[in-house]
Every structure is written in structure tokens, then in C-alpha cells.
Amino acid sequence: MMWEDKRYLSFNYEMKRLFNSKVIKLSLDGGFTCPNRDGTIGDKGCIFCGEEGSGEFAASRSLSLEKQIESQKELLSKKWSEGKYIAYFQNFTNTYSTYEDLKQKYNLAISQEGVVGLAIATRPDCLTEEILELLEEINKKTFLWVELGLQSIHERTIKLIRRGYPLETYDEAIKQLNKRNIKVVTHIIFGLPNESREEILSTVKYVANTNTWGVKLHLLYIQRDTDLHEYYKKSPFHILTREEYISLIVDSIEQLRSNMVIHRLTGDCKRALLVEPLWSLDKLRVLSGIDMELKRRNSYQGIAWEK
């Protein structure tokens, strides 16, 4: 089974199908914080989270949203000369504010020229009834999806990474968003400390059985000035090799439903901040390795799900 030149349903393929155009994500910083940082749940954040809240490639929060969108368009025009845009609220927890503040920022973002959709990265425990109503309203105006950072289903890992909410909260968030016809993208991290191959794949299988519209499959990378870096120095754990990662990703692609959109197949880190694994800097080699392994197996997305 093929989706143009890929053996999986990529974000690019799905956006071209829906919008008949290249669709480019504009990474924005809405000026939000996180309940896992402001003392509500915790004050250190997740163990792997850096100072910019997993938004190291987003525009600067010192700029207005309009200026951020302009600067991102200009920056990305060097790679893509034309296309349509998704306004992507990426840093920290982007439903963690007042109804009025969120409504103003979401509507401002989707009103900008060329913006055809909105993506909101958040936590499953930051979706109050009021916020869900706002998202339902926005969903009627534009192409919307909400990203939830699940990372793992395993209690030992959840405690270690200080995620701060139980699996049941994720399940309820999926249920409430689906009820309002709002698309969900689930994040999974591969290579979390001391998780086995079987445990990683059990998280993938769990997500494959939910009503999530899409997934982001991330490589765990160790970034300087994070608690994960300190943990790694004191308690070294196995870092996935490129070959192990590619094999796990292909196993996962096989387990996902064939209509589940794959938004990401690896992770990004600024070169100056990256400690491990250094092989992740060659992203194209990783992606081509995934393509080659799928071809070698004569495999494709959903083959294991269909069985």
C-alpha cells in the first residue's frame, strides 16, 4: 500500500489531499506557562522539557502574534516559496489560560493571511468544559487539531518523567474532543529511560486503539540544561541506536491504523543543546532509513493492524 512515494500516511500527503497545496506549520509562542511549572501540579516541568517548553524552533514570545507569524513565514519561505499555513501554538501548555485570552489569541492567529488551520499543543488535564466549548467554536471556523503529550502508558515511566496526570485523563480528553469532532494528535516518545522495546510498542498499540486522528513519534533526545541531562549523568541508561530506532518506528508504523496521520517520525533538537544521540542530527538519514526498512520488509502502515 502506498501514499504517493511513502508506505505510510504522512502529514504532507494528507494536507495536500485536503488543501491541494503544501501546508506549512508556523510555530508560535502564545506566552503561556504550564501547570507542571507554575506550582499547580509541579514546579520543574517534565524531566525532558527545556527552558522554552519544547518549542525551541518557535518564534520569539517577545514579538506580537502578528509579528511572529510574519517572521515564521519569512523564515520558512527560504525552504518553501509558497503554500498555505497552519498556526501552531507549540510552547508549553496552550490551553492553560483564561477563556478570553485564548479566544483572542486563537482568533487572531486564524485571521492572518494564508492561515487555513490551527494546531494547539496542550495537556489532557488542561481541557475544562469552558475551553472545550471554545475549541468546538474554533473547530467550526477553521481546520483544527489538538495535540496531547501522552509519551508513554507505563506508570513507572510516567512517574519518572513527571508527566503529572494518569492515563485515564488522556482517555477522557480523547473522548471529550472526539465528542466535539475535534481532531487529536497524540505524542509518543521512544527511548525513555529503561523502557523495553515491548513497552514502547505497547504504548503504540494502545494509541492505535484510540480515536486519535494523528500521531507524532518522537526520538528521546537529551538536551543540555534539562533535568533529564542531570538524570542521565547520574544514572546512565541505554540510548537507542539509529538502527534500533528505525526498526522500532517501522514496527510502530505497521501497528497503526492505515487512516491515522503520521505527523512526525523523529525528534528535533538544536545542535548546540544536543547531548545524545548525536546521530539524530542527520534527520534525512533517519527518514530515508525508515523508508528503506519498510521497502526491505515489503511492508506498510496498518499491515499488523489489519491482521
Distance (Å, whole) CA 152 – CA 53? 18
Structure confidence at residue 306 (pLDDT): 67
For the chain, the average pLDDT equals 93
Cell of 248: 522500532
Query: Per DSSP, what are the bridge partners of residue 214?
Result: 185, 261
Amino acid identity, position 123: R
What residues contact 145, with CB distance under 8 A and at least 6 apart? 117, 118, 119, 120, 182, 183, 184, 185, 213, 214
Residue % of the chain over a pLDDT of 90:
82
Structure confidence at residue 45 (pLDDT): 83
What residues contact 183, with CB distance under 8 A and at least 6 apart? 144, 145, 146, 177, 213, 214
Please name which of 44, 77, 75, 74 lies closest in space to residue 57, comparing C-alpha atoms: 75
pLDDT of 51 over the 80 cut: no
Q: How many other C-beta atoms are found inside a 10 Å radius of the C-beta of residue 224?
A: 12
**pLDDT 10s digits, 199-230:** 999 999 999 999 999 999 999 999 998 999 99
More confident residue, 269 or 229: 229
**pLDDT 10s digits, 177-195:** 999 999 999 999 999 999 9
CATH architecture of 11-299: Alpha-Beta Barrel (3.20)
Structure confidence at residue 53 (pLDDT): 42
Ranking 8-12, 61-65, 235-239, 249-253 by mean pLDDT, the lowest is 61-65
3-state secondary structure of 164: coil
Distance (Å, whole) CA 208 – CA 200? 13
**pLDDT 10s digits, 100-111:** 999 999 999 999
pLDDT of 278 over the 50 cut: yes
